[in-house]
Amino acid sequence: MAELRGVGIGLGVAQGPVARMAEPLPAPSDAPSARSADEETARVKDAVGGVARELEQRGALAGGAAQDVLEAQAMMAEDPSLESEIDTRIATGKTAEWAVFDAFASFRDQLVAMGGYLGERAADLDDVAQRVIAHLRGVPAPGVPDPGHPFVLVAKDLAPADTALLDLDKVLALVTTEGGPTSHTAILAREKSIVAVVGVAAAAGLADGETVIVDAAKGVVTTEPTADELAQAQNRADARRSASSAPITPGALADGTAVPLLANLGKPGGAAEAVELGAEGVGLFRTEFLFLSSSQAPTVEQQRAAYTELLEAFPGKKVVVRTLDAGADKPLAFLNDAHEENPALGLRGIRALRASEDILREQLTALQQADAATNADLWVMAPMVATVEETEYFVELARDYGVKTAGIMVEVPSIALMADRALAYADFASIGTNDLTQYTMAADRLLGSVASFQDPWHPAVLRLIREVGEAGRVQGKPVGICGEAAADPLLAVVLVGLGATSLSMAPTALADVRATLLLHSLDEARAIAEAALTANDAASARTAAQEAATR
Amino acid sequence: MPPISRTVHIGSSHGLHARPAKLFAQAAKESGIPVTIAKGSGAPANAASILGVIALGVEHGDYVTLTADGDGAEGVLDTLSELLTTDHDAE
């Protein structure tokens, strides 16, 4: 056996056979073929036939709508128009690979140019082309594997397009060779409660079909496990399953210090699941969904109905609503139609709301009406606050509309450093760790080339959070966390140690965070946080916290 | 026997893509004789080519002209016209 190390996401453990996700094939070269045209034509015929039969078989297994799509793809592989395009290219001395690649590309461009529904079919065609070229080269077809049984998916990293195709019921665990704790794979794993270990460079050597144990709690993938190890892993998985169905207790540390565990929600419809998973309220309700699909702002009446639906699901509980956070990756034409070179640093969040104050006033009106009609404890906060002056502005305006508890998001380092001043006005602060990390590290969180900077474990980020936590303690005001960071169980302990008084996360992360908080007292949490703060970088902060937590 | 043609009205509410295109191209291929399909007064495409059929971008309500050449052309056009005038997406 061998232990391959990476970063575990969550605390789960799983076992099963490996299925590798093959890499996209490099484009064939346009070098002249060494074979005769007849030989190349015969190779193409064999490859398209093989691919078509395989797609038909998969279609027959899948049935339903998937069968139609797969059969249509099989017909594309053997399409007569395509065949003559390929033959034309082979006749000029091209290789079968290049002829297939280029002929498919010409049809693809035609479909894309037609746009709409036809443009979407281009992806189907790309998939067929990749399969035919893989067949010609005698290598596995790229894309999400489908071995026909549950599997441990091993990939370089998963792109959103891959995960859309992934049948999550078949995925026992995720292992990636690249990508860190904030990669798309890690976010997916947290959201869907899939056992995952990311950044396991040595997993590149795993073979299809070999059995592995994926232990997210330890951040380890075990190869060639013994029968004992498999049985132990199974016991732990079973125990964890029964723990997650155990009675749900309010979030608290080992010494009884209450740390309310709240849910991040993007739609009122998610409330039922959040309550079922033990959310003690809502720590971040994003209001963008009401605005994103429309070319103009929703009416007060439409907003009131949506907020009422949300608040009704949490009688007597805290619900923190964030006013519209537009701009940057969520542009809204009616708020900001000016082109910005650098939208993350532009007119977004509270800045955009101030520039279109009627939209903010309407939102506050609708929130106040929904609050009056329900029994939840409504808190309202403004996004992207950078200055104490913005804090005063928002809090005063919210009070004018009868908002009882008005606060700010802390996502910009300037307001984290000024938190003691800002909390003299605001009733609370809520730290958005994703944006706070992006702005602290000056690294676009949507840009893959600087993804390694986007790690909330970085001591620079933790020091800013400590500033806010300390300001909250001095001013006697609550400081919540509502970013991705709160869903990482060990980081959740660190955040509490830094002064966070509540944690808000995707509802599926609640069980793991609840269980981990119960292992440490407040003094221990402070010591673990202190260990992380004194590290040089994100990775060593995580290691230092792990060591402090197991001491 | 000269080729015969017939012009029909597309009944499928989503036009001739996806499933209807697949059913149509499959039937044209199985007919065993050359069949072409043209949208309006456009250039004819091989009806047995799913890519050719999809690339016509035929929508609900469009008129297409089918041309078949060979034994049983009349019967083949009957079958194919039937497919085109049926609304498969309403099934």
Least trusted range by pLDDT, from A146-155, A231-240, A336-345, A516-525: A336-345
**Confidence class of residue A54 from pLDDT cuts 50, 70 and 90?**
confident
Query: Testing the interface with A: which of B12, B35, B49 to mutate, by most A Cβ within 10 A?
Result: B49
Own/partner contacts of A444-449, CB < 8 Å, gap of 24 or more, are: A444/A344, A445/A182, A446/A329
Q: What is the pLDDT of residues B12-58, one digit of tens each?
A: 777 777 778 888 999 999 999 999 999 988 889 999 999 889 888 88
Residues of B in contact with A72 (CB under 8 A): 18-19, 21-22, 50
Residues contacting residue A537 through CB under 8 Å, at least 6 positions apart: A458, A459
| Contact between residue A432 and residue A482 where contact means Cβ atoms under 8 Å apart | yes
| Contact between residue A310 and residue A373 where contact means Cβ atoms under 8 Å apart | no
For helices A37-62 and A96-114, angle between their N-to-C axes, nearest 10 degrees:
50
Q: Does A235 touch chain B (CB under 8 A)?
A: no
Q: Which CATH architecture has domain A37-137?
A: Orthogonal Bundle (1.10)
Instruction: Please measure the distance between the N-terminal and C-terminal CA atoms of chain A and give it in whole angstroms.
Output: 27
Catalytically annotated residue among B9, B17, B60, B88:
B17
Q: Higher pLDDT residue, A340 or A56?
A: A56
Catalytically annotated residue among A135, A184, A458, A520:
A184
Least trusted range by pLDDT, from A95-99, A161-165, A169-173, A443-447: A161-165
Average pLDDT for residues A219-226, to the nearest whole number?
93
B83 to chain A nearest CA, in Å?
16
A2-21+145-244 adopts what CATH topology?
Glucose Oxidase; domain 1 (3.50.30)
Residues of A in contact with B19 (CB under 8 A): 68, 72
As a whole-number percent, the residues of chain A with pLDDT over 70 amount to 93
Residues of A in contact with B55 (CB under 8 A): 107, 110-111, 114, 118
Q: Is the pLDDT of residue B65 over 50?
A: yes
- Compare all CA atoms of chain B with the CA of A75 and give the residue at the minimum distance: B50
- Which residues in chain B (3-62) have CB-CB distances under 8 A to chain A? 14, 17-19, 21-22, 25-26, 45-46, 48-52, 54-55, 57
Strand partners, A14: A214
Catalytically annotated residue among A149, A339, A458, A482:
A482
Alpha-carbon Rg for chain B in angstroms: 12
Number of domains in chain B: 1
Q: Is the pLDDT of residue A162 over 70?
A: no
Alpha-carbon gap, residue B28 to B48, rounded angstroms: 5
Known catalytic residue: A520? Answer: no
Q: What is the pLDDT of residues A355-387, one digit of tens each?
A: 999 999 999 999 999 999 999 999 999 999 999
Alpha-carbon Rg for chain A in angstroms: 27
Q: Please indicate whether, in this complex, the C-beta atoms of A117 and B48 are within 8 angstroms of each other.
A: no
The SS3 assignment for A333 reads coil
Q: What is the pLDDT of residues A441-492, one digit of tens each?
A: 998 876 767 777 888 999 999 999 999 999 999 999 999 999 779 988 899 9
| Contact between residue A90 and residue A96 where contact means Cβ atoms under 8 Å apart | yes
Q: Does A276 touch chain B (CB under 8 A)?
A: no
Q: Does A75 touch chain B (CB under 8 A)?
A: yes
| Domain parsing of chain A, residue ranges | 2-21+145-244, 37-137, 261-550
Nearest-CB residue to B49 (from A68, A69, A79): A79
Angle among Cα B66, B67, B71 to the nearest 5 degrees reads 125
SS3 track for B18-47: HHHHHHHHHHHHHCCCCEEEEECCCCCEEC
- Compare all CA atoms of chain A with the CA of B14 and give the residue at the minimum distance: A117
Strand ranges, E, within A368-445: 377-382, 405-410, 429-431
Query: Testing the interface with A: which of B14, B51, B62 to mutate, by most A Cβ within 10 A?
Result: B51
Phi-psi region of A116 (alpha: psi -120 to 50; beta: other; left: phi over 0): left
Please count the other Cβ atoms lying within 10 Å of the Cβ belonging to residue A541. Answer: 26
> Which H helix or E strand runs over A147?
none
Domain span at residue B53 reads: 4-90
ipTM: 0.90
Assigned token pair, A160: 């959103």
Alpha-carbon gap, residue A57 to A432, rounded angstroms: 48
Please count the other Cβ atoms lying within 10 Å of the Cβ belonging to residue A399. Answer: 14
**Which amino acid is located at A390 in the chain?**
E
Residues of B in contact with A71 (CB under 8 A): 22
Question: What's the pLDDT at B91?
Answer: 44
Q: What is the pTM of this model?
A: 0.63
Q: Please indicate whether, in this complex, the C-beta atoms of B25 and A75 are within 8 angstroms of each other.
A: yes
Known catalytic residue: A135? Answer: no
Query: Between the CA of residue A278 and those of A249, A364, A513, A521, what are the distances in Å?
Result: 8, 28, 11, 21
Q: Average model confidence (pLDDT) for chain A?
A: 89
Which CATH class name applies to A261-550?
A: alpha beta
Alpha-carbon gap, residue A220 to A2, rounded angstroms: 10
Average pLDDT for residues A2-21, to the nearest whole number?
89
Residues of A in contact with B46 (CB under 8 A): 80-81
Q: What is the pLDDT of residues A236-257, one digit of tens each?
A: 888 777 767 666 889 999 999 9
Strand ranges, E, within A366-412: 377-382, 405-410
CATH code where residue B39 lies = 3.30.1340.10
Query: Between the CA of residue A420 and those of A404, A425, A472, what are the distances in Å?
Result: 21, 10, 7
